[in-house]
Amino acid sequence: MAKWSLVPLALLATLAVPLQAAPEAVSVHSGWGAFRDGVRCYAIAQAEPSPFSRERQPFASVIVSPGEPRLTLRLSRTLARDAVVTLDVGNKRFRLAGGGDSAWTRDAAGHAAVLAAIRSRDTMTVGARDAKGRFFRDAYKLAGAPTAMDAAIIACRP
């Protein structure tokens, strides 16, 4: 993967959260960026390139404040109505909730387990069936994720 610049991550940041204030870049770590958007702070990264067709650029966003930290994924394809969405982080597998072009951790216990796995593994992959019945996967490198999440947490400390 080529060295990431702040510009693509800033563009992703504008898509990751509802419009409030313009995102303020906090830092970039191995392809993961930390941003502050008013009172909300988060880490975000684009999925790895893929040779397969995509409907949109996928990204992962870990919102760290306010409230309970949570993972949200924008998927490369629109989900089938009855799609089962799975997230593999290293050798751990999680079932996510999802709909349309997004997937997310289901509850506080799921959030905590997924974020702990992200902090201790090198890669994660989300997979499901799209609206045309085709299986797809979006893959992420996690090298900079823990540091970006920590930078986002620090950025939102009172």
Query: What domains sit in the chain, N to C, each tagged with a CATH number?
Result: 6-155 (2.60.40.1880)
Give dist(CA 4, CA 2) in Å, integer.
Answer: 6
Please report how the helices 145-155 and 108-120 are oriented relative to each other, as an axis angle in degrees rounded to 10: 120
- Residue 16's pLDDT is 53
For residue range 10-19, list pLDDT tens digits in order: 555 555 545 5
Taking only the tens place, the pLDDT of each residue in 105-140 is 999 999 999 999 999 999 999 999 999 999 999 999
Model confidence at 8, pLDDT cuts 50, 70, 90, reads low
Helix (H, G, I), strand (E, B) or coil at 105: coil
- Whether residue 76 has pLDDT greater than 70: yes
**pTM, 2 dp:** 0.85
pLDDT at 57: 97
